[in-house]
Amino acid sequence: EPEVTQTPSHQVTQMGQEVILRCVPISNHLYFYWYRQILGQKVEFLVSFYNNEISEKSEIFDDQFSVERPDGSNFTLKIRSTKLEDSAMYFCASRPNRVNGELFFGEGSRLTVL
């Protein structure tokens, strides 16, 4: 069964460093998302991406964050200068079309900022 894959599974970084989290969405999907879950809290929407541009973003997704689909298969989330509060599980998700339906989530990338 096709699945969303994410790398790395765990990354430890120093505060102020840049981090890139990578995702390979399901191949025929058109809508892509990043969510995050700080330990013990809810799963929060960060950004959605369609047709090579951001379609919606949350207040969390400030200028320190960016997304890119550089080669038609990978979907990346970059955090330019990490802060302690960026420590969280980051989930990539994809959906085949805009019509209501479930999002398919990856296993997540745990980011630890020291």
Binding stretches for another protein (CB under 8 A): 4, 31, 33, 35, 41-45, 48, 50, 55-56, 91, 93, 95, 98, 100-108, 110
CB of 71 vs another protein, minimal distance in Å: 23
List the one residue out of 53, 52, 46 whose CA is nearest residue 89: 46
Distances (CA, A) of 32 to 17, 60, 67, 87, 101: 25, 17, 10, 22, 13
Task: Give 88 or 106: the residue with its C-beta nearer to another protein.
Answer: 106
CB of 108 vs another protein, minimal distance in Å: 5
What whole-number distance in Å separates Cα of residue 64 and Cα of residue 8?
20
What whole-number distance in Å separates Cα of residue 18 and Cα of residue 97?
32
CB of 20 vs another protein, minimal distance in Å: 19
Task: Give 35 or 75: the residue with its C-beta nearer to another protein.
Answer: 35
